[in-house]
Every structure is written in structure tokens, then in C-alpha cells.
Amino acid sequence: MDEHNFNQIMRPRKVCVCRSVDKKTLEEAVKNGARTLGQLTLQTGAARNCGTCLPQVIEILHDTLEQVEAAESGQEPLPFKKVENAIE
């Protein structure tokens, strides 16, 4: 495998292609205080163009909020916990 192919494989996959936002950026934004979809999309720019990435952005918000809440409460995250008021 040459260097170009290696870099293509190892490069973080973009969740939002329109705004070039990857999963790690979205997770970090939630961990740093974004608690609603509106806050997350405003801070990162994700899902503010075509909207194709919106379901994945919502899923990342949901999953990361679970992790943050679990860490704050000292508990393990529940697999299907519903997040209230995640969409503004």
C-alpha cells in the first residue's frame, strides 16, 4: 500500500461532506457543551446545507450525550435511553 492509499484509509471520515465535519469534531462539540441539535449544528456547521447528514448528526448527538450524562452521573450509559428536547 502506498502512502496516498494509507492516508485515504486513515483520514477521518466526514459525517457532513458539505461542511467537511467529521465525527470526532461533533463528539468534541457535545463534550464541550453543545446539548441540542441547534447548538451542535451552529457550533460545527454540520447539517446546515443539504441536510443529508442530519440523521447521522442526530445519532452522534444522542450517543455522545449518553456518554456525557453517564460520565457526569458515574453510571454506565443505557443502550437505548431517549434524549428529551434534543432538537430545537
Residues binding ligand FES (CB under 6 A): 16-19, 46-53
CB of 57 to ligand FES, least distance (A): 7
CB of 20 to ligand FES, least distance (A): 9
Comparing CB distances to ligand FES, the nearer of 59 and 76 is 59
CB of 64 to ligand FES, least distance (A): 17
Comparing CB distances to ligand FES, the nearer of 41 and 64 is 41
Q: How far does Cα 60 stand from its chain's mean position? A: 4
Comparing CB distances to ligand FES, the nearer of 43 and 69 is 43
Count of beta carbons in the 10 Å neighbourhood of residue 12: 10
Instruction: Provide the residue count of the chain.
Output: 88
Q: Is 1 exposed, middle or buried (0-12, 13-18, 19+ CB in 10 A)?
A: exposed
CA 53 to CA 61: how far, in whole Å? 12
